[in-house]
Structure 1
Amino acid sequence: MKKRSLTIDGHRTSISLEDEFWDGLKHISTVRGCALIDIIREIDEKRKSGLSSAIRIFVLNYYKDPGA
């Protein structure tokens, strides 16, 4: 489990995720050709649960259907 601090729209926050989810996010950002923070910002805008949980769901859904 890794905890990282970052700023989203001027708000400082920390996210704790397992290494596999950080790796998944990095892979998705590489495939999309965008920064990791851009994906996290996108998830944050659409989430209906805690940010760490929303990221896990996003990564799981990506790998279930990478073309979506």
Structure 2
Amino acid sequence: MKSPVAKRSIVVDGHRTSVSIEEAFWTGLKEISSLRNMTLSQLVGEIDRNRQQGNLSSAIRVFVLGYFKNLAASTQLQQKVPAPQPSRDRA
């Protein structure tokens, strides 16, 4: 049985490292980097510099989850906000 975790090598701020995360997170990370017009290495470097988790793999998972969670919440909020109603003032 194939492991759901994929191990990849990546250069982060000039240093080669390996990161092991599930394929879905790799896919999400690639989508985010593309939307931000960044390379995957640039995005992972940003995540690495801002991480509060113990390891880079966990920080990437939390970042990707947070990104898509915020996107879903934003989309849901836009769908729930009623359209502005015309003014009924008759001065």
Question: Given the alignment, which residue of 47, 51, 59 partners 1:54?
Answer: 59
Mean Cα displacement is larger for which, 38-47 or 28-37? 28-37
TM-score by length of 2: 0.68
TM-score by length of 1: 0.88
Give the 3-state SS of the residue equivalent to 2:44 in structure 1. helix
Shift in Å, 1:61: 0.4
Q: Which has the larger radius of gyration?
A: 2
| CA RMSD, Structure 1 to Structure 2 (Å) | 1.3
CA distance 1:35–1:10, change in 2 (3 Å): closer
Residue 11 of structure 1 is matched in structure 2 by 15
Identity value in percent? 52
- Higher RCO, Cα 8 Å, sep 6+: 1
